[in-house]
């Protein structure tokens, strides 16, 4: 299968775009005319650059407002087309993409449009070119692929074919079945774009919110299945207009594009294959995550002592020390936290650039080696560092902000990592292990630049069997925070991704304090949050004070008895419920303004307390301004 990407997807000038596209491993490129107009060089130079990079121009686009004109305007439109053909000759590109006329002055009529395309096709044939017709979802007369195909069918010219663009087709929920009856050799170009379902003007939606397959909600797999039935074996080209992509790094976005296609094609093979997947190999299956084996913090000596003290207060016991390194293991219930105070190696480098922070997360999977293999084939970046004597090489890839994602399984030696690499401290009684009643990790919340959110969504969802929730906007005193969760169906792994466009939100302040994206908070489960809170406060853990008004409002809602509200008020506990059950949550104050911990009691509830997030964010903002306010 030939994969391609339109230059319009990426930021930068044409030279940067072409380099990023080639570096990500694409062989084909759609040249967006505007990128040529702003390029400081000739078309011949662009052609040479593409050749040097091993790229083939698969289409030149767009040619707008062509069909349905009166005779005088048709003559002018054909003259305009000849100038595009001149540019294509210079570029070495043989396909012109024509999109349907949006002018209110154009006339309709399939037969008339077919005549126009027969004329254009003949001009193209004389110069050795082809033209492909795309129905824009907002075209004046032609806005449905079934009509653009009918125009192409009636034009009946070998140099005229149809374009299928998954956005224009799926966004209008057009029946996909008719795709199956288009002969594959009459389809000259397939453009792939996904998008989140948004209730908005379709043109604005298309121009700002398209995304790579796997990042949105459109039925791309159904589209691909229908396409598979046509026998089409031409290029699949990503055509994405997205503000986040335009603000992102062209190299990173190009890699995301390739990753999305590799992931999509693999799913298609799984669904039964077709001409499109010829020559493509299956990836190892998406990995099922069984939970979080550990979370590792990079610290210096001073922060290490303070963090250890905080862990103790939260009921964790120091159960192990590393056989050869300044690394300790802290345990409670099913939770393992690791404090890494080494003076060299990855964690140290991470600590230098980010300060005290989560530098790695270990995920429990069924097959760690296969997970790494899949990750590498999806162009994720593997991580290796020299291992000391007696240490295990734990498979890992780079995750958010350059942190590590380790893979641990029970079927290899990795399952015994604690026994192999750590000496028990011996000081820990069974009672101490029960600690403050924390049983497991409920979720790990990651903050990032808004522009990065789609990248990490794709990173997690292409590698692991996870579902994504709808995007939510959460009000922070400093602006809106966009939030989307990736999680396994059983909740073994839950990762809320938070991105902020305003520099004044808590999420953004975290990014600037922390020098980049990373883990902002970790939530632990408790079966009895009130008892846990009492234990934590007795141990000297400072909790986030929740304002009185919140509890007045809770009273007004009338869901809870006054006794329960008093209990929650006394323990700074926030409350929510959904159709599945109740949710109690409380927050620690932050560790050196860097990250914080959340404690939750999940009684069947499926969400993350989004209604309470503004209360929490405001309380944190207040505390940051007045740190002397005592904790209740
Ligand atoms: Mg298109
Ligand atoms: Mg949370």
Measured from the alpha carbon of residue 133, the closest ligand is 1
pLDDT tier at 460, thresholds 50, 70, 90: very high
**Equal fold, 289-431 vs 437-625:** yes
Residue 276: what pLDDT?
60
Average pLDDT on 425-431 reads 67
pLDDT-based confidence at 513, cuts 50/70/90? low
- Distance between Cα 531 and ligand 2 center (Å): 20
Q: How far apart are CA 330 and CA 319, in angstroms?
A: 6
Ligand number, closest to the Cα atom of 138: 1
d(CA 176, CA 180): 8
Residue 207: what pLDDT? 94
Q: How far apart, in whole angstroms, are the C-alpha atoms of residue 34 and residue 23?
A: 22
Q: Which of 229-233, 275-279, 300-304, 393-397 has the lowest mean pLDDT?
A: 275-279
Q: pLDDT value at position 432?
A: 56
Distance 123 CA to ligand 1 centre (A): 23
**Cβ–Cβ < 8 Å for 291, 440:** yes
What is the DSSP code string of 465-500? Answer: --EEPPPEEEEETTEEEEEEEEE-TTSS-EEEEEEE
Evaluate whether 360 touches 404 at the Cβ level (below 8 Å). yes
Instruction: Please report which ligand is nearest the Cα atom of 9.
Output: 1
CA of 71 relative to ligand 1 center, distance in Å = 27
Domain boundaries of the chain, sorted by first residue: 3-277, 289-431, 437-625
Ligand 2 centre to CA of 494 (Å) is 10
Distance 571 CA to ligand 2 centre (A): 17
Burial status of residue 622 (CB atoms within 10 A of its CB: 0-12, 13-18, 19 or more): middle
What value does the mean pLDDT take over residues 216-238? 94
Higher pLDDT, 150 or 387: 150
* Contact indicator for 539, 608 with CB cutoff of 8 Å: no
Beta carbons within 8 Å of 428's beta carbon, 6+ residues apart: 317, 318, 319, 331
Which ligand neighbours the alpha carbon of 98 most closely? 1
Report how far ligand 2's centroid is from the alpha carbon of 520 (Å). 9
**For position 269, what pLDDT does the model report?**
86
Q: Which residues surround ligand 2, an ion (CB under 5 A)?
A: 523, 598
Distance 60 CA to ligand 2 centre (A): 47
**Topology, domain 437-625:** 2,3-Dihydroxybiphenyl 1,2-Dioxygenase; domain 1 (3.10.180)
- For residue 512, what are the contacts with CB-CB under 8 A and spacing of at least 6? 503
- From the CA of 64, which ligand is nearest? 1
Taking the C-alpha atoms of residue 120 and residue 591, their distance in angstroms, rounded to an integer, is 67
pLDDT score of 491 more than 90: yes
The CATH superfamily of 289-431 is 2,3-Dihydroxybiphenyl 1,2-Dioxygenase, domain 1 (3.10.180.10)
With a CB cutoff of 8 Å and minimum separation 6, the contacts of 619 are 544, 545, 546, 547, 587
pTM: 0.93
Cα of 136 from ligand 1 centre, angstroms = 7
The rounded Å distance from CA 579 to ligand 1 centre is 41
pLDDT of residue 630: 42
Residue 263 has pLDDT above 60, yes or no: yes
pLDDT computed for residue 433 by the predictor: 60
C-alpha span between 620 and 626 (Å, rounded): 10
Please give the CATH number for the structural domain made up of 3-277: 3.20.20.150
Q: Is the pLDDT score of 270 beyond 50?
A: yes
The predicted-structure confidence for 87-100, as pLDDT tens digits, reads as follows 999 999 999 999 99
Distance 109 CA to ligand 2 centre (A): 56
pLDDT of residue 627: 54
Q: Which long-range contacts (CB under 8 A, 24 or more apart) does 568-572 make?
A: 568/530, 570/632, 571/529, 571/530, 571/533, 571/534, 571/537, 571/543, 572/533, 572/543, 572/544, 572/545, 572/546, 572/631, 572/632
- What is the spatial distance between Cα 45 and Cα 52, in angstroms, rounded to a whole number? 10
CA distances from 183 to 153, 221, 503, 608 (A): 10, 19, 52, 48
38-95 residue pLDDT tens: 898 999 999 999 999 999 999 999 999 999 999 999 999 999 999 999 999 999 999 9
How many Å lie between the centroid of ligand 1 and the Cα of residue 375?
Answer: 30
């Amino acid at each position: 299968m030939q994969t391609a990407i339109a230059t319009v997807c990426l930021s930068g000038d044409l030279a940067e775009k072409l380099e990023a596209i080639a570096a990500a491993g694409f062989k084909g490129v759609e040249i967006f005319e505007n990128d040529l107009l702003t390029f400081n060089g000739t078309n011949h130079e662009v052609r040479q650059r593409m050749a040097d990079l091993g790229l083939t121009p698969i289409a030149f686009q767009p040619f707008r407002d062509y069909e349905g004109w009166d005779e005088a305007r048709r003559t002018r439109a054909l003259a305009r087309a000849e100038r595009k053909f001149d540019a294509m000759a210079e570029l070495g590109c043989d396909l012109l993409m024509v999109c349907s006329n949006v002018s209110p002055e154009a006339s309709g009529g399939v037969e008339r449009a077919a005549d126009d395309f027969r004329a254009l096709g003949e001009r193209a044939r004389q110069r050795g070119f082809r033209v492909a017709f795309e129905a824009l979802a907002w075209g004046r007369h032609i806005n449905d692929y079934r009509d653009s195909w009918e125009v192409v069918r009636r034009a009946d010219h070998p140099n005229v074919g149809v374009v299928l663009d998954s956005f224009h087709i799926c966004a209008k929920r057009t029946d996909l079945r008719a795709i199956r009856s288009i002969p594959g050799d009459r389809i000259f170009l397939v453009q792939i774009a996904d998008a989140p379902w948004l209730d908005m003007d379709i043109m604005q939606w298309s121009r700002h919110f398209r995304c790579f397959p796997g990042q949105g909600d459109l039925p791309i797999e159904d589209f691909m299945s229908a396409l598979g039935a046509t026998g089409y074996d031409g290029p699949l080209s990503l055509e994405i207009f997205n503000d986040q992509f335009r603000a992102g790094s062209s190299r990173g976005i190009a890699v995301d594009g390739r990753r999305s296609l590799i992931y999509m094609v693999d799913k298609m093979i799984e669904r039964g294959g077709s001409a499109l997947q010829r020559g493509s190999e299956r990836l190892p299956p998406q990995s099922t995550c069984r939970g979080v084996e550990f979370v590792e913090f990079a610290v210096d000596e001073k922060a290490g002592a303070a963090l250890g003290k905080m862990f103790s207060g939260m009921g964790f016991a120091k159960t192990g020390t590393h056989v050869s390194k300044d690394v300790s293991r802290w345990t409670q219930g099913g939770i393992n936290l690791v404090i890494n105070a080494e003076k060299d190696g990855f964690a140290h480098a991470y600590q230098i650039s980010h300060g005290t922070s989560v530098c790695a997360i270990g995920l429990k999977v069924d097959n760690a080696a296969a997970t790494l293999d899949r990750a590498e084939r999806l162009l994720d970046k593997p991580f290796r560092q020299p291992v000391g004597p007696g240490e295990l090489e734990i498979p890992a890839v780079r995750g958010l902000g350059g942190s590590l994602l380790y893979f641990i399984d029970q079927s290899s030696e990795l399952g015994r990592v604690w026994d192999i690499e750590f000496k028990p401290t011996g000081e820990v009684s069974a009672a101490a292990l029960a600690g403050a009643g924390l049983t497991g990790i409920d979720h790990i919340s990651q903050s990032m630049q808004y522009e990065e959110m789609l990248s990490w969504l794709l990173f997690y969802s292409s590698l692991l069997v996870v579902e994504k929730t709808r995007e939510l906007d959460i009000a922070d005193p400093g602006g809106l925070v966009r939030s989307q969760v990736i999680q396994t169906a059983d909740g073994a792994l839950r990762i809320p991704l938070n991105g902020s466009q305003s520099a004044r939100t808590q999420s953004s302040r975290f990014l600037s304090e922390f020098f980049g994206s990373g883990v902002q908070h970790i939530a632990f489960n408790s079966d009895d949050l009130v008892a846990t809170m009492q234990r934590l406060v007795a141990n000297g853990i400072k909790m986030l004070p929740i304002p009185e008004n919140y509890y007045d409002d809770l009273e007004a809602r009338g869901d809870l008895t006054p006794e329960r509200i008093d209990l929650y008020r006394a323990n700074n506990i926030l409350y929510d419920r959904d159709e599945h059950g109740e949710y109690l949550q409380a927050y620690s104050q932050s560790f050196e303004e860097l990250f914080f911990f959340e404690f939750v009691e999940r009684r069947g509830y499926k969400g993350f307390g989004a209604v309470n997030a503004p209360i929490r964010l405001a309380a944190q903002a207040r505390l940051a301004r007045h740190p002397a306010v005592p904790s209740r």
